[in-house]
Chain A
Amino acid sequence: MKFSYEWIKEFAGVSLSADEAAALLTAKAFEVKEAGPVLDIDILPNRPDALSHLGVAREVCALSGQRFAAPVYEYTVSERPGVSVEVRDADACPRYSALIVRGLTIGPSPAWLRERLEACGVQSINNVVDVTNYVMLELGQPMHAFDRALVDRIVVRRAEAGERIQALDGARTEYTLDESMLVIADSKQALAIAGIKGGAGTGISDATTEVILEAATFNPEVVRAASRKLGLRTDASIRFSYGVDPNLTAPALVRAGELLAKVAGGTPESGIIDVYPHPVTDRDIMLDTQHARGLLGVSIGDAQIRSILQSLSFDVSDHEGRMKVTVPSRRSDVVGAEDLIEEIGRVYGYDAIPAAAPVLPIFDTHSWVREDVAVAWDEYGFIRERSAIGRLLAGAGYAEVYNYVFISDELKSLLKLEGLRELAQPQSGEYRWLRPSLVPRLLINARDNLRFTEQVRLFETGHTFVRIGEGKEDARLGIVIATRENDSALFYELKGAVDLLLQRCGIAGAYYDDAAPFTWDAGAVNATLAGRQALIRADDDTVIGFMGAVHPRVAAALKLKGGAAVAELDLRALVRFAQEEREFAPLPKYPSVVRDIALFVEQGVKIDDIVQAVHDADRAGLVEDVDVFDIFLPTGDEKLKADGDTPEYGKSVAFHLIFRSNERTLTDKEVDTAEAAIKQALQENVGARVR
């Protein structure tokens, strides 16, 4: 809001320059966005008292230690009102005051008046309208002038549904009202939208000689709601939305009458018309000055506290060892002791508050009061493990991304996602749905990065929103790997990263389960291709995650040229395993014996089947590890060359068998026996032909 500093100085009589005043206001009251002869000040929403030159002047005086002399406007209430005023909704209009001014000559305003209005960004209309605006800028009370000749009475009432009014603006814009809105009407029609805009029919014209000046107080919520619904913000509605002091109407009318006499030759009636059923009075607040010192952390004395409060025009008296502070009604923001302490603090100067280390026990000894509430959050232990997992992936070549948590209409339909949470008013279809999985946006990241890099390895951690409002949100880790060439090795490279994580988290015996259907979110499952998908399970079958190679149709639709594989893991499960107790395994005392086995099996035989057959056949428990080092899938001619005489064998597998005992050095004979049993079992149980 714009303020003329020369006008402020007229009240304050201060010696500060405009820039000094601006700096002072910014530090201790309101941010001054532009300094200079016209100050642009962001008045805080709890300070309606400062929406005027008088208010800012009062503030500048208090902050600079200058004494402030407020102008006094005496008034009387007319015994025989010159117009009948009826307020039908006192909640919406706590006070309605009016003053009749006669004998006016409408014309342009004098230069000093026009200049002040224009400095504050208000257009000059004519002397009467200009006076109402001038008083608003000066005292903070929005006003309106009705042509007395065109108004038979004043009724403040709710609008009727569909009631129309033409606004007092150049275009005579028509507004359609509803019952939530308040209007000023006469016996025939609505004359103004209360607190927002006057109507065209009863405004000031060149022929006007007598006016009803309105200075009223309207409920901020009513004005705010109507202003929002009508899309109409005016200088008046802004002030009423903040909340205007009801005790300001009478002084404003007196001041306006005075000015109209001066600039339009008018004669105000001697008394004002006033409907004010429940006068708002000044407020008493008790202040314990020790509390003020404790809250601010400064050793300010009682005398200084008293003088600061007085500088704000608050009355201070002693009351049973405490201060009784009487706060004027215009300071609607000051209702409790802490509000007074804020006044003391900012006038005293926040710069004078020292930076002091807190003195508290080095650990908290609080007691639980409601454990049911605490289920919604994660603690530092989880956060640290998550960081460690991130660092592990970064060490393995993956870069961390942060994505928007909203996914697009396009991704939703491409991945056939149902039951997603939807924003009521999204910015666009690109960001409409809460993500059920990290995978969809990771695929977009992969595609975008493939434009300028050959290989993409990314990961992200974050919440997904399938379950909301019931304790913790799901915390996930998503990983994507993509290259310009489609290659099934991508799946295995990603599997390597997942294995690394599982090891890191101490999840021994995890396995990859390819039995559909997959109990994982469709956002990941539907992005991948059947036959190249697996659930990742712990050895107790707990589902830890899911991974798969991207579906060619999804890749094509996203214009992801090349291949990609994705994984998504349950971060809390990973962390839970990582935090389990662990015990070290003693170092081996005896040497191992390694034997290599190569065999042919049918294509459908899984590595897991082979490994399982080895362990089943190892009755003496001598096999420490089965380390597969080569898998070869012959195709076409290669198939014949690799195994001409047994075409039914489609896959060659070679592995190291590592034998070891914890009790003795194994003899060749023992190992030979075990190896022979294993070979035989492989032939019998997985149909292997040992090469």
Chain B
Amino acid sequence: MKSQLDHIREVALKDLENLRSLAELEAARVRALGRSSELSQFLRSLKERAEGERRELGELANRLRGELERQFDGAKEKLEDVAYAALEKLDVTAPALRSRRGHIHPLAQAQDDANAIFASMGFRILEGPEVETEWANFDALNTPPDHPARGMQDTFWLQGMEHLMRTHTSPMQVRFMQAHQPPFRIIVPGRVYRNEATDATHEFQFHQIEGLMVARAGEGAPSMANLKGVMEHFYQRFFRDPNIEVRFNASYFPFVEPGVEVYIKGSSGKLAGKWLEVAGAGMVHQNVFERVGYVRGEMQGFAFGMALERIVMLKYKIDDIRLFNGGDLRFLRQF
């Protein structure tokens, strides 16, 4: 009986040697392994044999069946490979079929980045109204009554002179503090307006990110050193440059005391080698705390305001601020 299996094996392997097409291979496979093949018949005939013999021959026959299946699979793969090799080759250097892609405005991308950085520091992120009252935009922020910034030359007032386009995001400091007790830390990104002539570096409509961190005065209350720490951490992460240094220059803004201008210097690109002004900042003036309803002297904290356009222009080396509001796809497609 074993010699019958040897014979089956010989015939099948011989058959395999002369195959030229998948059709021939399929025919040979049916001959060797199909329902009416000699091997199948052999297996069916085993049930008439004695138990011991049945088990031994069955094992041999099944082993042969497995071997032949592997052989046929291997032969099939070889024949297929020949066919695949004949398929048309692609010119991978030919132009692609275009996928359509839109673009997020560079200011929006930068704003998202900044929001995420501040959120990771536990800042709450808020956006407020762009039309404001004189009280929130100027009075509550300790701006002297006849300060020139209040005039129509500098500020866009609405007809009726009851409202104005906010000149900074700082009125949200006022609104937020009116509603909350410290401790808190917030940033307020948003659009602001100044009545000034436009050129490559000036716009009458631009964006600021306002920051405010306040706690009860005393041990651990936010200090100028903390302001510097937060500024440094933010700019290092925003510009992905761990070598950015921050320095303060003395300055004056009515709503902070002390007041400083924030400068940064980095190690690469536009930031390398010189100090660039990026923000105004300081310790919140006690008059502001008093005007929003806190008790003078009880709270301590810092505030800062940075122009978003400024840092985005630095980041991408954009040389004309007016491109941001131009709606020009040739600009937008670059981001």
Contacts and interface: CB of A to CB of B under 8 A. Distances in A.
Contacts of A368: 179-180
Contact of B157 (A220, A224, A423): A423
Interface in A77-119: none
Given A425-B156, A445-B327, A357 B251 contact: no
B175 interface: yes
A492 interface: no
B277 to A, nearest CB: 9
B102 A295 contact: no
A473 B328 contact: no
State the 7 A-B residue pairs at the shortest beta-carbon distance, nearest first.
Answer: A297-B225, A297-B223, A342-B258, A394-B102, A397-B100, A445-B327, A350-B248
Q: Chain B: interface secondary structure?
A: mixed
B66 interface: no
A56 interface: no
Contacts of A401: 105, 327, 332
B127 interface: yes
A44 B330 CA distance: 42
B195 A27 contact: no
A298 to B, nearest CB: 7
B101 A397 contact: yes
B12 interface: no
B269 interface: no
A297 B220 CA distance: 9
A293 to B, nearest CB: 9
Interface of B: 100-105, 107-108, 112, 115, 119, 122, 124-131, 133, 145-146, 148, 151-152, 156-163, 165, 172, 175-176, 178-185, 188, 191, 195, 197, 204-205, 213, 215, 217-226, 228-233, 246-252, 257-260, 283, 285-286, 293, 300, 324-325, 327-330, 332-333
B223 A356 contact: yes
Nearest to B153: A425
Interface stretch (A28-36, A483-491, A622-630): A28-36
A363 B219 CA distance: 18
A351 interface: yes
A398 interface: yes
Given A357-B229, A448-B327, A342 B259 contact: yes
Nearest to A455: B100
Interface in A384-432: 384, 387, 390-391, 393-405, 421-427, 431
A44 B182 contact: no
26 contacts: A27-B249, A31-B249, A44-B252, A46-B252, A221-B145, A297-B223, A297-B224, A350-B248, A355-B233, A356-B225, A357-B233, A358-B230, A364-B185, A366-B182, A369-B178, A373-B175, A399-B103, A399-B333, A400-B332, A402-B327, A423-B165, A434-B158, A449-B328, A452-B330, A468-B131, A469-B129
Question: What class of interface size applies to chain A in its complex with B?
Answer: 35 or more
A360 B258 contact: no
B249 A350 contact: yes
B229 A358 contact: yes
Given A354-B225, A391-B104, A425-B157, A403 B327 contact: yes
Given A30-B250, A404-B205, A294 B218 contact: yes
A393 B102 contact: yes
